[in-house]
Amino acid sequence: MSQKSVFVDEGVLDLNYVPSKLLHRESELRFLRGIFRFIIDTPYEMSQRAVIVGGVGSGKTALAQRFGRDLEAEGARRRVKVRYIHVNCREVRGSLFMALNRAVRRLRPTFPDRGFSADELLDTLMRILDEEDTQLVLCLDEVDALIEKEGGDAIYNLTRVQESRLEGPRRLNLICISKGPEVFQGLDRSTLSTLQRNIIKMPEYTHPQLVDILTSRAEMAYRPGAVSEEILTYMGELAVSERGDARYGIDLLWRAGKYADATYSQEVLPEHVRKAAAEVFSTLKTDEIKTLSRHELLVLLGIARHFKHSREPKATTGEVELSYRVVCEEYGEDPRGHTQFWKYLGRLSDLEAISTNIHASDKGRTQLISLFKVPVEDLEREVTRIIEQG
């Protein structure tokens, strides 16, 4: 069966993709540029360090890489020699030798990858910078791995390498990226003081910010109309539930599209999102579902049945209550009253089997219900099995 993909460019959903514009990180980018402005304006006269801290998916890596690319581009325009090299310390197993080797080989691709100590590699790096008469911003991403393995000496050596070159041009600058500032507390006081001077803290993204980011990526990655505003809002809520993790949201945007293609759908539907979310973090907790009362199970089955036939990511309590009554009729049960039904919803929400939130509009306040990270088919099958087993 021939079917057009919902995608036009999956590449912009790759987690290593760096957008030309960083939404909601403009002030942090301006601050980082200000710290290293001297590289362009007064090259070789000083060296600087900066620290970027923030939770997973807060945009730390994208911020540093966007800055690095912009810096190299401006250097080329202004005819100032500058290089930016990004090394993930966890990828090099927390080894200063491997981190420096990767930096050296970026500058000299034919350089041998063994036969040197870390100190010798640092001397070699500085010599290459002298030979090329260039400045370097070395970014150590996930620097926690480096400090955990090699202690404070590795950072000390990098921050102090210019001390033996007091009369020479300043060439090496450092950016460290970490989840939090506490990893630096074990460093000696002088090293710590040089790093603490320029700390950029990345706050968690809010729901509106995440929706903006996902909308921007969707406009580049998807065919027009393939992802609705409601679906993007839904994905933003999922990302907020993961502490504002934009990487999670972008991964979700990609996986949901793959499920849409697999089912020959013209657009991304709520069930595609739920399947994508379950693929990353499944929240179907069978043991907890077994603790529910019969009518709590019937309510949960009613919710699953509703979303099985709905193209919307959320349902009103009225829609869910109607579905619950249909399920009760199927199983020969008298439905409980409205007050008791609300208690059942509260119990399901406490167990995180469903998600509830209040929506305010001109008509008043309405409670909306959604299934976040559980595919409807899986939930319906499991709840039906438990009910029929008694």
219-264, pLDDT tens digit by residue? 999 999 999 999 999 999 999 988 899 999 999 999 999 999 999 9
Q: What's the whole-number mean pLDDT along residues 2-9?
A: 88
Domain termination residue (choose one: 252, 280, 308): 280
pLDDT at residue number 159: 86
* Domain range enclosing 294: 286-389
Task: Indicate whether 302 and 271 sit together in one domain.
Answer: no
Task: Indicate whether 181 and 196 sit together in one domain.
Answer: yes
Q: Report which secondary-structure segment, H or E, holds 377.
A: helix 376-389
Name the band, by pLDDT with cuts 50, 70 and 90, for residue 7. very high
Residue 333 has pLDDT above 80, yes or no: yes
Q: Where are the alpha helices (DSSP H) in 86-228?
A: 96-107, 118-132, 143-150, 153-160, 189-196, 207-221
Task: Indicate whether 103 and 235 sit together in one domain.
Answer: no
Domain termination residue (choose one: 181, 202, 223): 202
Residue 365 has pLDDT above 80, yes or no: no
Share the mean pLDDT of the chain.
91
Give the percent of the chain with pLDDT over 70. Answer: 96
20 in any annotated domain: no
153 in any annotated domain: yes
pLDDT at residue number 284: 62
Residue 2 has pLDDT above 90, yes or no: no
pLDDT at residue number 125: 96
Q: What's the whole-number mean pLDDT along residues 166-180?
A: 91
Q: Report which secondary-structure segment, H or E, holds 39.
A: helix 38-41
Q: What's the whole-number mean pLDDT along residues 126-150?
A: 95
373 in any annotated domain: yes
Task: Indicate whether 55 and 122 sit together in one domain.
Answer: yes
321 in any annotated domain: yes
CATH code, domain carrying 221: 1.10.8.60
pLDDT at residue number 362: 66
Q: What's the whole-number mean pLDDT along residues 123-152?
A: 95
Cβ burial of 41 (10 Å; 0-12, 13-18, 19+) is: exposed
Q: List phi, psi (to 5°) of 45.
A: -90, -20
Q: What's the whole-number mean pLDDT along residues 139-145?
A: 96
Residue 364 has pLDDT above 70, yes or no: no
pLDDT at residue number 282: 54
3 in any annotated domain: no
Q: Is 310 left (phi over 0), alpha (psi -120 to 50) or beta?
A: beta
Q: What's the whole-number mean pLDDT along residues 56-85?
A: 97
Question: Alpha carbon of 143 to those of 15, 90, 167, 188: distances in Å?
Answer: 19, 8, 30, 16
Name the band, by pLDDT with cuts 50, 70 and 90, for residue 167. confident
Task: Indicate whether 45 and 151 sit together in one domain.
Answer: yes
How many domains does the chain contain in total? 3
Residue 323 has pLDDT above 60, yes or no: yes
Task: Indicate whether 184 and 239 sit together in one domain.
Answer: no
pLDDT at residue number 101: 95
CATH code, domain carrying 92: 3.40.50.300
pLDDT at residue number 1: 47
Task: Indicate whether 342 and 224 sit together in one domain.
Answer: no
Lowest mean pLDDT segment, chosen from 30-44, 164-178, 307-321: 164-178
Residue 99 has pLDDT above 50, yes or no: yes
Task: Indicate whether 91 and 171 sit together in one domain.
Answer: yes
Residues 6+ apart with CB under 8 A from 293: none
Domain termination residue (choose one: 280, 303, 321): 280
β 315-316/135-141 pair status: unpaired
CATH code, domain carrying 327: 1.10.10.10
Per this entry, what is the length of the chain?
Answer: 390
294 in any annotated domain: yes
Task: Indicate whether 33 and 162 sit together in one domain.
Answer: yes
Reading the block at residue 56, the tokens are 């997973």
pLDDT at residue number 356: 87
Task: Indicate whether 89 and 192 sit together in one domain.
Answer: yes
Task: Indicate whether 40 and 150 sit together in one domain.
Answer: yes
Task: Indicate whether 243 and 109 sit together in one domain.
Answer: no
Residue 281 has pLDDT above 70, yes or no: no
6 in any annotated domain: no
8 in any annotated domain: no
Name the band, by pLDDT with cuts 50, 70 and 90, for residue 287. confident
The structure's pTM equals 0.82
Name the band, by pLDDT with cuts 50, 70 and 90, for residue 89. very high
Residue 280 has pLDDT above 80, yes or no: no
Alpha carbons 215 and 225: distance in angstroms, whole number = 12
